[in-house]
Structure 1
């Protein structure tokens, strides 16, 4: 039985409240039928006498007893405060993010017109020295979109693998999204590191991610590989890595970032000192090996995507998020906290107050 936010474990105890009107009726009957005599020398004077406050308030004593009875009945009904607790069991997805951090990921070519105009007004030399230019680079946009992708997941383990001329694990599969996001933010430092190199080891990057998924027992295992170049430094070829992914039951989504054609912003030394921005056509050597990326995705049951701006990237990761949904089964339980103790205390206090008043202020003389 529930009344408001309270749940009563023994609601049948409320039947005892039927005794209350019976006790009230009995009290009224006894008071009306009670007869007493007293010798008084002048009856006319006694009739004029007004009842004192003590007489008027004499009914407080039995009222306290009835209130105490009501409090004890409520306590007997065992009021409880219910709190719903949800437990979830999930068929999770293990996701490894394989991110290209080679030097070319610092290229600025995915700007909107507004961003292009904003960047051109800045001093190129100061812009580069401050490191702010990474925010507008391919890697900067990838960091932003991947961060949003991670924050949309709730019950999946996610890890991060980075690759340039060589591949390495930045973060193993984890549910600690906060730490993962901090590690992701620091990947631009890798792209600035000359030891990473300007080459691209796509096959090794994929193999590194697969190594983290090899012992996974998740229902679905996924690699999302993002790059802006061609494989030119791998020990394991992309084709061989795709075969390994297929044998492990890992689905690979591949994403190529960067303009197919258009202009890239580059700094140019100014005659008056400092540097300004100039637009140059996208170099041919910066083209993406779409065939290799399509082959990887096709062999593993994934998909290949091409992103030429941030909006494309957002759409791609949103689609992958929808394709790789986690199945969550929610089971609700009710937990109850006992709330009858205050009612017992109130009843006890009322009984004590009744005894005190009955034997002091409202004591009756036979």
Structure 2
């Protein structure tokens, strides 16, 4: 039984309060039946006598007794203060992000029309020298989308491995998302260093991520591999790496980025003046991703293959993966009670003591 913020463990004790009105009625009845006789020589003078304060407040003594009874009944009902306590049990997901940082990730083929028009009116040479074009590249968009993905996770360990001509770990599994985002932001520096080298080691990149997940005891272990090219530099073939992932129970999602065909915005240099300007060029078949290999990797490990030709599609892909790999959170709630009957016992005892003192001093009755 709950009354306000208090919980009463033995509410049946409140039935005893039914005796309170009976005791009041009995007291009134006895007062009315009570008769006193005194010899006084002048009855007229006695009738004019005004009752003293002691007589007017004589009923306070039994009132204290009844109040004490009420306090004892409330104490008997065991009032308690309930405090709800929650414990959260989390089965986290360990996620390794394998990111392609080869030079081809600087390609400007995922631009919206607005972004392409914006870049087209800007000084190409300044944009190239400052490296500002990277935020509009495949890698730039990938960094933005992956950062959003990391921001949605709360109870998972996430790591980052990068691969180009070779693979290496940029950040081991961690819950320090702030540091991870800073490291992710610096990934375009690696791509600039490999700009003249478009070799891509997809298999080695996957193996590097698996090495970080091998000792993980998480209930779910996942690799999200993003690339825009074909494997041409791995020591371990991608399909063989997928078999290793399967044996470890690691699920691999593969994401291919970049247009399949068409024209892309590119820098061009005047051979006579050396001036840098904007131009367009066709996407060659050699630049496309190896969908068959990426599909095989995902299929062998129970993951999925995705293809993104623009930022909106890439955002949708990572949102879907985020939903598929939700952390299981179990909340256990219970109430802890603190006993609150002691004050009621104390007040009741003080009222009884006060009633005894007044009944034997100020309001003493002489038969």
With normalisation by structure 1, the TM-score equals 0.79
Alignment CA distance shift 1:127-1:81 (3 Å): farther
| 1:232 matched residue in structure 2 | 232
1:186 alignment partner, SS class: helix
Q: CA RMSD in A?
A: 3.7
* CA distance in 2: counterparts of 1:120 and 1:345, whole angstroms: 85
Alignment CA distance shift 1:119-1:352 (3 Å): farther
* CA distance in 1: counterparts of 2:68 and 2:124, whole angstroms: 83
Does structure 1 residue 182 correspond to structure 2 residue 179?
yes
- Uncovered stretches (5+) of structure 2, i.e. residues with no partner: none
Does structure 1 residue 206 correspond to structure 2 residue 206?
yes
* CA distance in 2: counterparts of 1:97 and 1:237, whole angstroms: 19
* CA distance in 1: counterparts of 2:318 and 2:23, whole angstroms: 74
1:92 Cα offset (Å)? 4.8
Mapped contact 1:161–1:209 kept (Cα < 8 A): yes
| 1:337 matched residue in structure 2 | 338
Q: Deviations along 1:64-110, whole A, 9 cap, x unmatched?
A: 33223322322232222334444455655432221223344344443
Alignment CA distance shift 1:363-1:183 (3 Å): same
1:349 Cα offset (Å)? 5.1
1:210 Cα offset (Å)? 0.8
With normalisation by structure 2, the TM-score equals 0.79
How do residues 257-272 of structure 1 correspond to structure 2 at under 5 angstroms?
Answer: 257-265=257-265
* Between 94-103 and 132-141, the greater mean CA deviation after superposition: 132-141
Alignment coverage as a number of residue pairs: 358
1:350 Cα offset (Å)? 4.2
Alignment CA distance shift 1:321-1:172 (3 Å): same
* CA distance in 1: counterparts of 2:46 and 2:16, whole angstroms: 43
| 1:62 matched residue in structure 2 | 62
1:36 alignment partner, SS class: coil
* CA distance in 1: counterparts of 2:49 and 2:117, whole angstroms: 101
1:242 Cα offset (Å)? 1.6
How do residues 306-345 of structure 1 correspond to structure 2 at under 5 angstroms?
Answer: 306-345=307-346
- Uncovered stretches (5+) of structure 1, i.e. residues with no partner: none
Larger radius of gyration: 2
* CA distance in 2: counterparts of 1:39 and 1:124, whole angstroms: 125
* Between 306-315 and 284-293, the greater mean CA deviation after superposition: 284-293
2:186 alignment partner, SS class: helix
Q: Deviations along 1:286-306, whole A, 9 cap, x unmatched?
A: 432323222222222222111
Does structure 1 residue 291 correspond to structure 2 residue 288?
no
Q: Deviations along 1:276-321, whole A, 9 cap, x unmatched?
A: 9735236536432323222222222222111122221122122223
1:4 Cα offset (Å)? 4.1
* Between 210-219 and 114-123, the greater mean CA deviation after superposition: 114-123
| 2:162 matched residue in structure 1 | 162
2:239 alignment partner, SS class: helix
Mapped contact 2:108–2:137 kept (Cα < 8 A): yes
Does structure 1 residue 99 correspond to structure 2 residue 96?
no
